[in-house]
Chain A
Amino acid sequence: MVKKITSWLSVGLISAAALSGCNANTPGGQETTPQGTAEEVDPRGQILALSCASCHGTDGKSVGIMPGFYGKSASYLKNALMEFKNDGRYSTVMGRHAKGYTDEEITLIAEYFGGLSQQNSK
């Protein structure tokens, strides 16, 4: 079973290596620094957090009835998500979503958005 995932992974990696023309994993290999981001964000936190924007707007800047959370701190967000997860806060769908993440993933999501707001307020 693990073999299957490893094979999915290596397909992506091998073509990555082919495309970038360098060994993806050699330290000091020519990794391009993205222009958009000054600091490296946690890629796991990022991919988890991208989901939230479909209902709460890009970067949590809501234009609809759903609450926006851009500018909120990581600890505020973590607390809110944990409350949704543990049914400590009333919701229509947030409880159903929050239960899909481990506590660690919730921390990563909260830190991603907390960090975003901080970065831009500098």
Chain B
Amino acid sequence: MSQKFTRRDFSKLFIAGAAGSTLGVFGGATPLLANQKRVVVIGGGFGGASAAKYIRKLDSSISVTLVEPAATFYTCPFSNWVMGGLKEINDIAQTYDVLKSAYGVEVIHDEAVEIDAANHSVKLKGGKELKYDRLVASPGIDFNYDAIEGYSEAAANSQMPHGYKAGPQTELLTKQLQEMKDGDNVVICPPGNPFRCPPGPYERASLIANYLKKNKPGSKVIILDAKEKFSKQGLFTKGWKKLYPGLIDWRAGSAGGKVTAVDPSAMTVQTSSGAVKGGVVNVIPPQRAGKIAAEAGLTDASGWCPVNPITFESTIHPGIHVIGDACIAGAMPKSGFAASSQGKVTAASIVRLLQGKVPAPPSLVNTCYSLVGPGYGISVAAVYKLTSDGIVSIKGAGGLTPMDADDDQLSEEATYARGWYNNVAQDIWG
């Protein structure tokens, strides 16, 4: 079974696939609209906006319509920085002006409410119906509020925000932190795997601790974790000891971290070892693919969308490519960087497919920067390729900031984290 399969063989296979396949057979061809190929993209976040821009950039003969309800997209990346007082909400606002003016993407601010996979069409809430040759869906995540007794969308919008979709949730959590009494504690409850941005809750704990240290010295952060370990744990723990000794109390699931219920009016969290009260309680519920994906039948029993790892085309509904947090992408984490990388690979694949050509073998990448303190950055990186096991990270590449990184290197990583945000935002929306 463990037959060695090199990348060279793999490229050969693509060429062989091109030369020797049975492509004469093609029933059910989709009628094309006046010759122009048409792609509809659902979701203007990290995955969707990347795909829309790059399809137009790589082949401007293809028409691209992007459907996104919000005129301003607030990025989750750097939303923790806003909570920690290091950025303003406007610093994480992105718009669609450049996609429209420089790339000729048609942007419709509406919500997709129904996908008809057989007839290649999408219905919008406003009543419009869009036909497509290929559909890209990057709807992000939906929350499974029911998994936590006492929690609900209403509770998230009032007492216990999740802060896991940026915008009003970010502002609510920031405001609660500012108004919290010195001496009260901030309770953060991260979910089990898989979830959006594995290091996200721990970067948040870091930057909140940084804020408390200066503004509410009597308060601390308690993390009630569903998990036994977490992303970049060694690096975070080292940074916390150095910058915030005694200020961050992380409890593993088996050590009283597992949340069984919450009481939003009492601001308490129930765990196996008793109730914990917070001045601010940040509950991050378990997640699944964005609602439209489930409604369109693109999800499997896991709640996420299985895809062909070469083109990100759904293995359930042909013609629909699912990217970003919503899809099952092998070893790739649910990150904005990964979503954008998938968006670009999918754009290149769709362009090739619409030109009647074989897509190139995918190459994907991710770097997740986390800020432990204003001048203290850490990162985890990986390069991904396709093998018969699906998308795997390449051994010998990628990995973490070294545990023995000196202050200069940690400070450089913090600087590069800021640089990453500027460039990734430019690469997607600019």
Q: Which residues of A contact B (CB under 8 A)?
A: 1-2, 4-6, 8-25, 29-32, 34-37, 43-44, 46-48, 50-51, 53-58, 62-66, 92-93, 96-102, 105
Contact = CB atoms under 8 A, between A and B. Distances in A.
21 contacts: A8-B310, A11-B315, A12-B313, A15-B313, A18-B30, A19-B134, A19-B354, A20-B354, A32-B355, A43-B360, A46-B360, A47-B361, A48-B363, A58-B427, A64-B421, A93-B367, A98-B397, A99-B394, A100-B382, A100-B397, A100-B398
A35 B415 CA distance: 39
A57 B98 CA distance: 15
B399 to A, nearest CB: 6
Contact of B10 (A5, A22, A24, A53): A5
A56 B423 contact: yes
Contacts of B341: 50-51, 54
A57 B353 CA distance: 26
Given A25-B18, A63-B426, A101-B383, A31 B356 contact: yes
A112 to B, nearest CB: 11
B398 A54 contact: no
B217 to A, nearest CB: 33
A54 B315 CA distance: 27
Contact of B30 (A10, A19, A25): A19
Contact of A34 (B61, B349, B420, B421): B61
Contacts of B133: 19
Interface in B337-394: 337, 340-341, 344-345, 348-349, 351-365, 367, 379, 381-383, 385-388, 394
Contacts of B394: 99-100
Contacts of B319: 15, 19
A76 B17 CA distance: 34
Contacts of A66: 416, 419-420, 423
A38 to B, nearest CB: 12
Given A1-B1, A14-B26, A97-B383, A92 B413 contact: yes
Nearest to B23: A17
A65 B311 CA distance: 32
B59 A35 contact: yes
B23 A13 contact: yes
Contacts of A21: 26, 29, 32
A92 B396 CA distance: 16
A14 B388 CA distance: 20
A17 to B, nearest CB: 4
Nearest to B54: A50
A24 B18 contact: yes
Contacts of A93: 367, 379, 381, 413, 416
In the A-B complex, the 9 residue pairs with the closest CB atoms: A100-B383, A100-B397, A64-B422, A64-B419, A65-B419, A20-B356, A1-B388, A43-B360, A99-B397
A13 to B, nearest CB: 6
Contacts of A14: 21, 23, 25-26
Contact of B318 (A1, A11, A62, A105): A11
Contact of A13 (B17, B418, B430): B17
Contact of A5 (B27, B30, B386, B409): B386
Given A63-B426, A99-B397, A105-B363, 10 more contacts: A6-B17, A16-B356, A20-B356, A29-B356, A32-B354, A32-B356, A34-B60, A36-B58, A92-B409, A96-B399
A100 B58 CA distance: 25
Contacts of B127: none
Contacts of A51: 341, 344, 363-365, 383
A5 B388 contact: yes
Given A19-B133, A100-B398, A57 B388 contact: no
B287 to A, nearest CB: 23
A58 B396 CA distance: 27
